[in-house]
A and B are shown apart, each in its own frame.
Chain A
Amino acid sequence: MNQMTEFDAIVIGSGITGGWAAKELTEKGLKVLILERGKPLEHQKGYVHEFTPPWQAPQQGLPDRALDAREYEIQSKIERGAFSWANRQYWINDRQNPYEQVKPFRWHRTDVLGGRSLTWGRQSYRWGPDDFLQNKRDGHGNDWPIRYADLEPWYTHVEKFIGVSGAPEGLENFPDGHYLPPFEMTALEKHLKRTVEAKWQNRRVTIGRVANLTEALDGRGRCQRRAICNRGCSFGAYFSSLSSTLPAAQKTGLLTIRTDSVVEAIDVDPQTKKATGVRVIDAKSGERLRFGAKVIFLNASTYGTLQILLQSKSALHPNGIGNHSDVLGRYLVDHAGVGAFAEIPGFDDRNYSGRRPTGILVPRFRNIGGQDADADFTRGYGYQGGAMRDDWTNTAAQTDGFGADMKHQIARPGKWIAFLGAFCEQLPQKDNRVTLNENKRGGFGLPQLSFDVAYGENERRMKLDAAKQAEQMLVAAGAKHVVTIPVRAIPGVSIHEMGGARMGHDPAESVLNAHNQVHGVPNLFVTDGAAMASSGTVNPSLTYMALTARAADYAVAQLKAGAL
């Protein structure tokens, strides 16, 4: 095995948190190596289908069913069109990278430099003070070792760099951040906002806070209102590692990026008990390599991170790093969902032009400041949605006629439809977990990750309530007939993967401490979704970024103090 050059720090993964770790560590003077398991991808040049119009797409955009069924069986099922002919090349090949589903589970992952920062939904929300207190209050999960005040300056730090557009609301548990001007609501969204806020004093409808630049920022261009973000954006107008953090890290001259580098394990010295380096399989040559560093940041995406920790077995850590208490891989959480939509009449004279890369949001209003009298579940949910007019594919799919009149009916702006989709907080449960199946081999001969995750009774009740409340809001806005549909019904589908190496005060019930250090391995930091001790009700990526920047600051200070 080759021992390669020593680095001050190794960052495993180049996605949302890996990019942030690399930026922060290099800007503080560390020599950093990023190890990315996926293929290289170059900003702008690599976005090969960014400007492809529908008529030049393969089959004019109809999915390549044979290819998708054979190579992308899981990835091609991603909701909301995030997988398409225009970005298939970013996603992982499922045939070559199988995993075990004890219960149905969707593991959606990319396999390219920049990771899911390229394809993410860009919704960027701060967690509220209550989100860090709930575990302690209701006893589900362990107490978070940090509070909102610990993260607040880091949210600010992150928002100012990535650029988030949004509207302040002044709500205590849905904190405002530093925002670029918000996108405008449609006529029906404005109406929904008016009617909902008039009828329920504790409910708010706001524009989605999104990491798209409504104004140019630090050399990145402003959003062009194309809403094809997940193809990659040559304007650099949404936050991705490729547009933002990696260029910043490269500017220091201290960054080395190695793609096609599949991390097999992290080595820990049995004497010092510190992590000494990373063992890597070169994805192209199969060669095994080792890289050494003083500090390691593990940012391989929640399940990727857990797989690496579980694979890192030694005499000191016989069940994987951080697994002395059998907590590693457990307490996985994400967001369960349910959706409701309805046609709302009365706005045929209104329309919108351009394409907006965000929707609307209803922050959590259930069980805030105590249990609601009519709620038979604990915690709550928020909604994301929108109110737009049907487009040609919707109108055409709801009709079967033909001829000149049909042609023009399909082409005209269609019915106004309002949609609300709930993000229901999943309670941390010990039995929702991943393990390694040593008897089944996946990509690169490594053991398959095995998912045993299910939603529980509380999520079921919460979904029923979310559907009911959504219906009431849509009816208040003028809907005659509300349709409820399952969304995010299978764990994993929300791609809000959290937990498995949760933070906590006590090594007996957590994997990481308040600074995201693995208990007992002080120079190993985990700052992606694996660190989360609960799931909240809003999209988690902004919180991962804030945790990463905070941990990087701490790591460098500790390193300089000689403590690592």
Chain B
Amino acid sequence: MKIHPIGTGPASPSRRAALGALLAGVATAGAWSSASAATALQAAGASAVRPTGFTKPELKILTVAADTIIPVTDTPGAVAAGVPHFIDALAKHWMNGDELAQFRAGLADLDKRAQQRYRHGFAACTSAQATAILQDLRAASPYEGRTFELAARIEDPKAPFYLRLRDFVVYGYFTSEIGSTKELRYVAVPGRFDGDVDVKTWPYQNVI
């Protein structure tokens, strides 16, 4: 997978840190997604191959959106965790035609909203600008469905673009190595189960 440098523009310190982490983390993040996607495709008879994922400008919009949805805090954010590449791999190998069309239109809409409001593309937005646009979009994206598993909502054809984008980023982050180990505490072999402990001694989830 080819990695595209992020466009220039106003960027907060944390944004810059995220972009640096993106470039540093690219090798590993990209490696698994293309390898596992290739395996999945082989098994599936490669009938759904779309050789191209997002365009370079689309990937830039997606990267800024991902960085806004799961930003760098005391732990790395979605960009360092390789989430844009995760979603790009889904676009290539996982989304169906309707989902991909909706997602592309949604990215274009983000860009249009940024142009109207700030006279530059979404990829050039500051954190505050991107947040404002996504909050507007969130308010304008009603969803009646109710699920208790994120993967189920991701597959709901009635989910609006905003929710799909947000859910892909959240899912990609919390299943990434960074999200699983820095934000959550993935423990491969716990060895013991303590059923009733003070949350102060163990303030984490017990993720599989």
- B197 engages A55 (CB within 8 Å): no
B16, chain A: closest CB distance, angstroms:
17
CA distance A343 to B184 in the complex (A): 22
Once A186-B195, A413-B199, A413-B203 are accepted as A-B contacts, the answer to whether A407 and B153 lie under 8 Å apart by CB is: no
CA distance A103 to B202 in the complex (A): 49
- B70 engages A407 (CB within 8 Å): yes
A350 interface neighbour in B70, B138, B197, B206, Cβ under 8 Å: B197
- A60 engages B175 (CB within 8 Å): yes
Question: 1/0 per position for B184-198, CB-CB distance to A under 8 A?
Answer: 101111111111111
Once A393-B150, A396-B170 are accepted as A-B contacts, the answer to whether A55 and B177 lie under 8 Å apart by CB is: yes
- Cβ contacts under 8 Å, A60 to chain B: 86, 171-172, 175-176
- Cβ contacts under 8 Å, A404 to chain B: 71, 73
- B190 engages A397 (CB within 8 Å): no
**Is B114 in contact with chain A by the CB < 8 A criterion?**
no
- B199 engages A350 (CB within 8 Å): yes
- B207 engages A391 (CB within 8 Å): yes
B5, chain A: closest CB distance, angstroms:
24
B87, chain A: closest CB distance, angstroms:
11
**Is A53 in contact with chain B by the CB < 8 A criterion?**
yes
CA distance A84 to B25 in the complex (A): 28
Question: 1/0 per position for B87-119, CB-CB distance to A under 8 A?
Answer: 001100110100000000000000000000000
- B196 engages A352 (CB within 8 Å): yes
**Is A59 in contact with chain B by the CB < 8 A criterion?**
yes
- A59 engages B152 (CB within 8 Å): no
- Cβ contacts under 8 Å, A184 to chain B: 193-196
- Cβ contacts under 8 Å, A56 to chain B: 32, 36
- Cβ contacts under 8 Å, B189 to chain A: 224, 226
CA distance A184 to B207 in the complex (A): 18
- Cβ contacts under 8 Å, A57 to chain B: 36, 175
**Is A133 in contact with chain B by the CB < 8 A criterion?**
no
- B193 engages A356 (CB within 8 Å): yes
Closest to B198 in A: A349
**Is B136 in contact with chain A by the CB < 8 A criterion?**
no
- A66 engages B44 (CB within 8 Å): yes
Residue of B163, B195, B208 with highest tally of chain A CB at under 10 A:
B195
- A351 engages B69 (CB within 8 Å): no
| Size class of the contact patch on chain B | 35 or more
Once A224-B190, A350-B197, A354-B194 are accepted as A-B contacts, the answer to whether A62 and B171 lie under 8 Å apart by CB is: yes
- A410 engages B195 (CB within 8 Å): no
CA distance A403 to B152 in the complex (A): 22
Once A56-B36, A66-B48 are accepted as A-B contacts, the answer to whether A402 and B70 lie under 8 Å apart by CB is: yes
- A61 engages B73 (CB within 8 Å): no
Question: 1/0 per position for A211-252, CB-CB distance to B under 8 A?
Answer: 000000000000011111000000000000000000000000
- B150 engages A65 (CB within 8 Å): no
Closest to A401 in B: B138
| Size class of the contact patch on chain A | 35 or more
**Is B43 in contact with chain A by the CB < 8 A criterion?**
yes
- B40 engages A355 (CB within 8 Å): no
A392 interface neighbour in B40, B43, B205, Cβ under 8 Å: B205
Within A15-74, which residues are at the interface with B (CB < 8 Å)? 51, 53-67, 70
- B197 engages A396 (CB within 8 Å): no
A528, chain B: closest CB distance, angstroms:
31
- Cβ contacts under 8 Å, A293 to chain B: none
A226 interface neighbour in B143, B190, B196, B197, Cβ under 8 Å: B190
A214, chain B: closest CB distance, angstroms:
9
B199 interface neighbour in A61, A348, A400, Cβ under 8 Å: A348
- Cβ contacts under 8 Å, B12 to chain A: none
- B138 engages A400 (CB within 8 Å): yes
Residue of A224, A350, A407 with highest tally of chain B CB at under 10 A:
A407
- A408 engages B73 (CB within 8 Å): yes
A-B contact pairs, 16 of them (CB 8 A): A58-B40, A59-B89, A65-B96, A65-B155, A183-B193, A184-B194, A186-B196, A350-B197, A353-B193, A354-B191, A354-B193, A394-B150, A400-B143, A407-B71, A408-B73, A412-B205
State the A residues within 8 Å of B (CB).
Answer: 51, 53-67, 70, 183-187, 189-190, 224-228, 348-356, 389, 391-394, 396-398, 400-404, 407-408, 410-414
State the B residues within 8 Å of A (CB).
Answer: 32, 36-37, 39-40, 43-44, 47-48, 68-71, 73, 77, 86, 89-90, 93-94, 96, 131, 134, 138, 143, 147-155, 162-163, 166-167, 169-177, 180, 183-184, 186-200, 202-208
Q: A62-B151, A391-B207, A396-B171 are in contact. List 15 more A-B contacts (CB 8 A).
A: A53-B186, A58-B36, A59-B36, A64-B94, A65-B94, A65-B96, A66-B47, A66-B48, A354-B190, A393-B149, A398-B148, A402-B69, A402-B70, A407-B73, A407-B77
